[in-house]
Structure 1
């Protein structure tokens, strides 16, 4: 049965396919709503049109009043605010904008588990629980399992009970059919892309085409490993300054014919994790029509975005997503690689035993691993020791593009046997996860039992449950209002006494747009027009309890109407610019930027605090004052 979001997506795709051109909206009503949305964004700061003094900013309360008058629908997202206050209260004084994704659990669960552990520890007869003995210990541990990917997919890897529970919950959350797709737990995106590079037949399907407008470590690993196997690597280009896909060039690469039977691997995200630029589903259709295997990267997609991925229309061969434990904490977690069962045969010729596949092991209050399929406490001596775990994990980070040595495989596999000897596969009864109505209040939601149950243990995935309760439309609308208000607010900050109205902030990617993604790439410039080092801005933001990301934009394409030299003024020295003699050189130039990502728990106060922090750079002496203050507090000085 399709969810309401999927039915809605079906209607949208029907009208979208009627338009043969790429990346164009064919609805006048949609264009009108976009125009009205832009006008509302501008009016949200009325009557203010320019700010040159950080000490004269309007109050948070005043601007919030203007904001809600411009976007009255924002008040309908109050449930997200209630969830944040009651379940993520550690964010009270913390603006978390440095990563995006899906959190499994809530912060309040951490406190509950911690309190329960302290209580249980006072009784020697208390049974072990799926808990931990301090607030810094995670809900589970990760153990690497070297294996051949095809064998794992074809014969089925041996799952722990926790693996099964989490796999079923994630598959349900992602709206993916277990009849069509197999799922593999991986350590992270880098290990996943290396796993694919090790096993994909680049010797016969020689093309690799990636669509990323920023430097991505996982993509670099994929490119490096595939080249060593003889792949021909191509990358999409992005038009300056909006960072939209250069459609003509990408279409040419997607549709060009090769003599070999198979085309290769097309790696495609639906939006940029840095600039917030969204990309058309039509590229998936075009790639499928031209014989590409498709790896869909959903790491930049927010919670419930998978409801619009249209797997009913475009079923990618491979799909990657990631999940972290708790939002606002260290974003540790794991990756998930979904492989379409009919596409798994592409790995059949691979004999590589790769590191990257993992198993999830629950942590007990004593730091041991608990397996519910066993009727007794597993003795510590039977479990992998911390040093053994470290050894297995080091193998992942130190492994090259080729398979690990047989000796290393045998050592790690022997470790696995210690754990797997006590494991049994059981049928897991997965509770039905239903979409809660947006009007459902937080108390009703918290009392609702949406847990995965096995035996006498319940595991609540409150982070996923919260996303389910809010729903796609509410989450997307909320982030849309906030990110566009912030862009508009940033663009009206201008340095004082500037003859030409020198802006404080430069936005990379789409500006105010109805359909942009929940991410923003920007830089701050001083009164002389020179870029302030993004790493320095990050450090100063962190001192104000604001967590920002950073990265490097790449694959930039400059049209003839743009003066490339002017565009690169803040990127390289005059001496370096003289070396950029052709467009290929310019494509290789990277632009270091600050990034901000917006999730379902982001609120207006977060936006205001970031805006107020950025405005401090209107003071020409702000950086020097901060350096002096930092040194005066007997802390390590910030290097500019």
Structure 2
């Protein structure tokens, strides 16, 4: 399908920038090759915003209008994505005064739909038995929802079966209980952050004698330690009696730091006899349309959906299993009680003959959220040659979903991969520069207010960011306190725990300064873990420049050494409850 004129302009300018600003010298046009344009993107972005400028007082920040004017001069392609702002205004008006940066993944419905929702009902079934006969027992609503989701993530029913689970943790644990971790098969995970879902998988697999290994990430950009991971995937030969080396669980992107990882790790694992589980948590709503995902077909795929962005984080997770891989799964008795669910309609809307349970919170515990409470994921695409769901109208989509219009999915489809990626890339890279320009006044070596963990300005980075705020003495301000103050300003943030970070000899001193400890109480035995507690944000496709600017303006308030104390006094004077932190 040919690109529309606006989409073509956005694509061309995203991949070949002509950048010029009032306050910076003229930047020559970037080369037309993708490689050169990606390199120029980082260079011109860093040079074009606030050149030779630092902000030491929140009152010295440029106004929203002035900042946006320069933003558009640097990223003229952003104007092609402004339909997302119209969707936010008309379909999600509950976000008018709320900056929601703690949702990741895909929303099913819009706030404006005013539709009764579905519930989930638990069922006792193993993954193997559910794959064999579960789909034939689905209700009309569940079958319709199954088809709509499979279409959205471009997964062919000819290649994959799918089961619904209560949440992401259930999906990971269900797979771990069903996978044949006998003969000391291995489990290799690639996560730069603490994940309750991954912990559940690790704990279940270890009980079944699996050998668990984790990738490490090099400080300071949190790139995968490629030598170590390659050795894990290729070391030791596979004997003739072994049915695969084990399970390789791989996200294409960290949903905390925004670091992106190469598709080639999946390919390397497949070539060396691993079963591959693709975790879609960090991917955007249309990232599954990329070519790499169309060519690489993992054995398992996990994604999850929430109901309404910024309003209702409950939902479900989906576990896709490749049909050719399903026979290796075991019929585990423990798997029957883990969390396979059916999708049932609320009785006052749908005349179903079964009682619906209350919605299960879709938060998997990877990060702690504030008022929005959500942490979902959605992902992946593999099948080439099908008619794109984005080419269908919402009315046609509703027919395929049993009469329910999944407006959230429709909105993502209408914007498309190019516009969503372009929009998020512009905002997150501007925000990285803006954050790094905040410096404490009257300090030696211009003490930075913000430290960003992981990739900085980069063409290929995710629309999430991990960071911390430091006072003028260089001491970290507790993320939970900042989250609480942000919530009072109608800004929803999350916090998480970076781990598996490795330091070369060059950064050993820095390791002692940045690394901390915490007690992990998720397992039966309390353990001390080393890592970094960080604030996290995630830019959904509905986030615009204004939301990024308002976050920046809020963080800049911490340049005032007395800001936290002033906030305590202000809320005490208003007779509001002061929560001790």
| TM-superposition CA deviations, 1:443-470 (whole Å, max 9, x none) | xx7xx52333279x62101100111111
Matched, 1:484 2:429: yes
Does structure 1 retain, via aligned residues, the 8 Å contact 2:58–2:559?
yes
Q: Which residues of 2 match residues 444-455 of structure 1 at below 5 A? A: 449-453=395-399
Residue 534 of structure 2 corresponds to 593
Q: Find the aligned partners of 2:190 and 2:94 in 1 and give their Cα distance.
A: 36
Residue 268 of structure 2 corresponds to 286
Residue 134 of structure 1 corresponds to none
Does structure 1 retain, via aligned residues, the 8 Å contact 2:105–2:282?
yes
- Measured after TM superposition, the shift of residue 489 of structure 1 is 0.2
- Measured after TM superposition, the shift of residue 565 of structure 1 is 3.2
Matched, 1:359 2:342: yes
- Measured after TM superposition, the shift of residue 44 of structure 1 is 4.6
- Measured after TM superposition, the shift of residue 174 of structure 1 is 0.3
Does structure 2 retain, via aligned residues, the 8 Å contact 1:40–1:71?
no
Give SS of 1:278's match.
coil
Residue 143 of structure 1 corresponds to 121
Unpaired segments ≥5 residues, structure 2: 9-30, 365-385, 519-527
Matched, 1:615 2:559: no
Does structure 2 retain, via aligned residues, the 8 Å contact 1:165–1:452?
no
Residue 21 of structure 2 corresponds to none
Q: Find the aligned partners of 1:47 and 1:246 in 2 and give their Cα distance.
A: 33
Distance 1:532 1:183, change over 3 A: same
Matched, 1:232 2:211: yes
Q: Find the aligned partners of 2:47 and 2:95 in 1 and give their Cα distance.
A: 29
Q: Find the aligned partners of 1:250 and 1:309 in 2 and give their Cα distance.
A: 24
Distance 1:83 1:393, change over 3 A: closer
Q: Find the aligned partners of 1:537 and 1:638 in 2 and give their Cα distance.
A: 13
Does structure 1 retain, via aligned residues, the 8 Å contact 2:167–2:360?
no
Q: Find the aligned partners of 2:391 and 2:296 in 1 and give their Cα distance.
A: 27
Residue 91 of structure 2 corresponds to 87
- Measured after TM superposition, the shift of residue 499 of structure 1 is 1.8
Give SS of 1:507's match.
strand
Residue 232 of structure 2 corresponds to 253
Q: Find the aligned partners of 1:433 and 1:255 in 2 and give their Cα distance.
A: 37
* Partner of residue 182 from structure 1, selected from 153, 161, 165: 161
Residue 469 of structure 1 corresponds to 414
Q: Find the aligned partners of 1:483 and 1:82 in 2 and give their Cα distance.
A: 20
Give SS of 2:205's match.
helix
| TM-superposition CA deviations, 1:42-94 (whole Å, max 9, x none) | 35534561000011211000000000000000001111111111111111111
Residue 351 of structure 2 corresponds to 370
Does structure 2 retain, via aligned residues, the 8 Å contact 1:143–1:393?
no
Distance 1:159 1:224, change over 3 A: same
* Partner of residue 314 from structure 2, selected from 325, 332, 335: 332
CA RMSD in angstroms, aligned pairs only: 2.7
Give SS of 2:249's match.
strand
Q: Find the aligned partners of 2:170 and 2:224 in 1 and give their Cα distance.
A: 27
Does structure 2 retain, via aligned residues, the 8 Å contact 1:201–1:349?
no
Does structure 1 retain, via aligned residues, the 8 Å contact 2:179–2:330?
no
Does structure 1 retain, via aligned residues, the 8 Å contact 2:188–2:247?
yes
Unpaired segments ≥5 residues, structure 1: 9-26, 114-130, 132-138, 372-377, 398-430, 438-444, 577-586
Does structure 2 retain, via aligned residues, the 8 Å contact 1:44–1:67?
no
- Measured after TM superposition, the shift of residue 490 of structure 1 is 0.2
Q: Find the aligned partners of 1:528 and 1:97 in 2 and give their Cα distance.
A: 28
Matched, 1:627 2:568: yes
Residue 427 of structure 1 corresponds to none
Q: Find the aligned partners of 2:408 and 2:331 in 1 and give their Cα distance.
A: 39
Residue 485 of structure 2 corresponds to 540
Residue 64 of structure 2 corresponds to 60
Distance 1:478 1:393, change over 3 A: closer
TM-score, scaled to structure 1: 0.77
Residue 405 of structure 1 corresponds to none
Q: Which residues of 2 match residues 152-171 of structure 1 at below 5 A? A: 152-157=130-135, 158-171=137-150
Give SS of 1:274's match.
coil
- Measured after TM superposition, the shift of residue 525 of structure 1 is 0.2
Distance 1:321 1:68, change over 3 A: same
- Measured after TM superposition, the shift of residue 151 of structure 1 is 1.4
- Measured after TM superposition, the shift of residue 311 of structure 1 is 4.1
Does structure 2 retain, via aligned residues, the 8 Å contact 1:242–1:509?
yes
Give SS of 1:288's match.
helix
Does structure 1 retain, via aligned residues, the 8 Å contact 2:254–2:282?
yes
Matched, 1:638 2:565: no
Give SS of 2:212's match.
strand
Q: Which residues of 2 match residues 92-241 of structure 1 at below 5 A? A: 92-110=96-114, 113=115, 131=116, 139-157=117-135, 158-204=137-183, 206-241=185-220
Q: Find the aligned partners of 2:75 and 2:3 in 1 and give their Cα distance.
A: 27
Q: Find the aligned partners of 2:182 and 2:173 in 1 and give their Cα distance.
A: 16
Larger Rg: 1
Q: Find the aligned partners of 2:293 and 2:339 in 1 and give their Cα distance.
A: 26
Distance 1:205 1:336, change over 3 A: farther
Q: Find the aligned partners of 1:28 and 1:227 in 2 and give their Cα distance.
A: 50
Matched, 1:567 2:571: no
Does structure 2 retain, via aligned residues, the 8 Å contact 1:44–1:485?
no
Matched, 1:526 2:471: yes
